[in-house]
A = this chain, B = another copy of it.
Amino acid sequence: MAVVVRNTRRTDMAIVDGLAELGVATVHEAQGRKGLLAPYLRPIYRPVKIAGNALTCEVAPGDNWMIHVAIEQAYPGDILVVTPTSPCEDGYFGDLLATSAMARGIRGLVIDAGVRDIATLTEMGFPVWSKSVSAQGTVKETLGNVQTSVVCAGAHIKPGDVIVADDDGVCVVSHLDAARVLDAARKREANEEEKRRSYALGELSLDSNDMRPRLAEKGLIYIAASDE
């Protein structure tokens, strides 16, 4: 038995787009260093920076049938999140599915498996974060769930959670935390801007963050090369 859950909640697009601007590293820090998908997910082209609502899709190994089912459930601004029920590197997704997904307003694909037609996807400007690039085709025989909670690349993702993805990788922000994380991330970025200016002038983080006393307390010793 498999289910498709229709009309699940989405996160407000103003929040989604705010998170997109800030990028993965800042958002991930702002929510307490959690929610990162495994770094083996890599973008097919760079630079790239998007966010969207998670449209989740479970697939059998070597079987992309449910992606066809999932696309119908898309709202504009969704990011398709595909996870196989056991590890697989086949090319589940290519330019035909991308054409269909773009027509439905899907902003990109995060897949814990393989993708193909990446030359065309790059030309089309349809971003994909995948575990592999593989031309290996798939069948359409086995059902899976659409818009249920999944684990993708080591992260727990619920429909309507915010997916943030850029050159550094992919992060998920829970629907419930999204507004709060956006605030925290904006504050973090403002703070970083100040640091960037002082570091560019040669100031050291040892001083601006007052690290020296704690380093000494922990036992750090400075010696001259000749004392070795």
Residue numbers of A with Cβ under 8 A of B are: 1-9, 23-25, 28-29, 32-34, 36, 38-39, 42, 46-47, 49, 60-63, 65, 68-69, 71-72, 85-91, 94-97, 99-100, 102-104, 114, 116-119, 122, 132-137, 139-143, 147, 149, 151, 154-156, 159, 166-169, 171, 192, 195-196, 199-206, 209, 211, 215, 218-225, 227-228
Contacts and interface: CB of A to CB of B under 8 A. Distances in A.
Per assembly, the copies of the chain total 6
11 contacts: A3-B223, A4-B222, A7-B225, A8-B225, A65-B215, A69-B220, A86-B136, A96-B205, A103-B200, A154-B154, A156-B156
A135 B169 contact: yes
Contacts of A33: 85, 136-137
Contact of A149 (B7, B39, B42, B156): B156
Contact of A95 (B39, B196, B203, B206): B196
A194 to B, nearest CB: 10
Contact of A116 (B9, B25, B88, B220): B25
A69 B192 CA distance: 19
A114 to B, nearest CB: 6
